[in-house]
Amino acid sequence: MASNNSDMMNELRSLQAQVMHFKDLLSEEGEKVAGEARGRAATLLNGAGRKAQDVANYAKDEAVSIGSVAREHPTATSTALLTAGLVGGLIGYFLATSSQAPSHSPRRWL
């Protein structure tokens, strides 16, 4: 019986050692995967930052270009803005007058 108990204890110790070994392996793999993910995320964020800077520079360049055109041709600029405003106002007016007013009757089903 003592031999049987000793065998069981040895087997339990062996199983415990194997579990600890697997735990260590999983921990190492988890650290490796996390490191790779951090590296990829850093690369993506760096690329996104460069793209955002490029977009901001493009928008700034276009704004400067539009500003210089407006300064060189103030009459044409004001005419274009006035025309756009009038067209927008007319479109809004026609849309507002073409739609029917909602019925406020309590008997909407009739």
pLDDT digits (tens, 9 = 90+) for 34-46: 889 999 999 998 8
Q: What is the pLDDT of residues 47-97, one digit of tens each?
A: 999 999 999 999 999 989 988 888 888 898 899 999 999 999 999 999 988
Question: DSSP string spanning the chain?
Answer: -HHHHHHHHHHHHHHHHHHHHHHHHHHHHHHHHHHHHHHHHHHHHHHHHHHHHHHHHHHHHHHHHHHHHHHH-HHHHHHHHHHHHHHHHHHHHHHHHHSPPPP--S-TT-
The pTM for the full model equals 0.44
Which range (23-32, 55-64, 70-79, 98-107) has the least confidence? 98-107
Q: How confident is the model at residue 109 (pLDDT cuts 50, 70, 90)?
A: low
CA distance 55 to 100: 44
Which range (18-27, 71-80, 94-103) has the least confidence? 94-103
Q: How confident is the model at residue 5 (pLDDT cuts 50, 70, 90)?
A: confident
